[in-house]
Amino acid sequence: MTPRFATDVITFYHPDFWGLDSGDAVRAWALRNPERFWEGVMEALAEAGVTGIELTFAPGDIDSALRAFGSAPAFRHELAARGLSVVSAFIADSDAPDWRHGDNLPAIVADAERRASFLSEVGADLLIAGLPMRTTFGTRPPFFVDAPYMTRMADIAHVVGEAVAQHGIRLAFHTESNSTLWYERDIDLFMALTDPRYVWLCPDSCHIALGGGDPVAVARRHTQRVALAHWKDAVRPIDVELTIDDTVFAQQQPYMTELGTGIVDWRGWADAMARTPGAGIVLIELDEAADPVAALRAGTAVARAARRPRPPGHPEADLPLPRDQLRSGG
């Protein structure tokens, strides 16, 4: 199967790409000029030869697309005119209902159904979610990611998964660094507690590696649950306890890198991905690339090379993940 290449809209958030001086300036400009923002994104996607896009937090979110084009069908039409389409949307908005306590389940479901309706109209079938973040290590009282907590998350996921399924949408969970779905143990526990008919997995190769885990092993254990994957590289595991607050995502950035320049075993990852239900899409994730066209071209080249068959005995036929560089904790 020849895959389609896709990327997350966050690829286009670097201020240099827009000729602006900060991320805040990009967000403010895009809020005032949503049509120009999306035109720039679509032109860059077409130039890079990447045909799929994942919506995320503002300015590349669902509400921005609706402000720019008026409706999901109109947005779909604009994308299709350039050979593009939406493959998924990530629930990353700061105003999305919090899952931590679960006492606001009606709001959580309503929010997911609104997104699912949009995805259905725009021709996509995947809603990507994450579990709540951990708290900073040492915080008191401590917050434990234990069986009761994960059972609550599974219960919410089932309700949301069933609700969005009524719109023809699958719910998949992303393995975000410093979240409660980060370590290999977190992933295995959540997958064991959830029904595969309603809950899918969106493994992120970078974030799993940042937690000291083996992305390839995770993908192989949960092959039939992978609806989509984020292809992203890591410099090394996060080797300090980060402060988990509004700055945590910026703190994680130095540990991330472009495909092929880090520690992820791309041959093993590509082989595992080829056996999943999500094999038809390769989503290259590049947070805020200053030159997104060049970065996407480089990333797709790495992915293509990783997927290329090698004859037995070829020196690159089975490149191992450098486990000696990974700390325990997965």
pLDDT at 330: 35
DSSP labels for 2-65?
PPEEEEEGGGG--HHHHT-SSHHHHHHHHHH-HHHHHHHHHHHHHHHT--EEEE-STTSSHHHH
Q: Is residue 259 part of a domain?
A: yes
> Is residue 172 over pLDDT 80?
yes
User: Model's pTM, two decimal places?
Assistant: 0.92
Tokens 């997911």 sit on residue: 112
Q: Find out whether 233 and 257 touch, Cβ atoms under 8 Å.
A: yes
- 59 in a domain, yes or no? yes
Domain residue limits at 82? 4-325
Three-class SS state of 284: strand
- Contact predicate 84/37, CB 8 Å: no
Closest CA to 242 of 205, 214, 207: 207
Given pLDDT bands bounded at 50, 70 and 90, which one contains residue 96? confident
Per-residue pLDDT, 318: 46
pLDDT band at 2 (very low <50, low <70, confident <90, very high): confident
- Tell me the C-alpha to C-alpha distance, in Å, between residue 182 and each of 66, 84, 191, 209: 32, 31, 12, 9
Three-state DSSP class for residue 191: helix
Q: Distance between CA 79 and CA 77 in Å, rounded?
A: 5
Instruction: Considering only CA atoms, give the Rg of the chain.
Output: 19
**Position 215 pLDDT exceeds 50:** yes
Res 216 pLDDT > 70 = yes
Over the chain, what is the mean pLDDT? Answer: 92
Q: How many domains does the chain have?
A: 1
Q: What is the CATH number of the domain that holds 95?
A: 3.20.20.150
The one-letter amino acid at 303? A
pLDDT at residue 311 greater than cutoff 70: no
| pLDDT of amino acid 313 | 61
**What's the N-to-C CA distance of the chain in angstroms?**
32
Q: Note whether residue 330 is domain-resident.
A: no
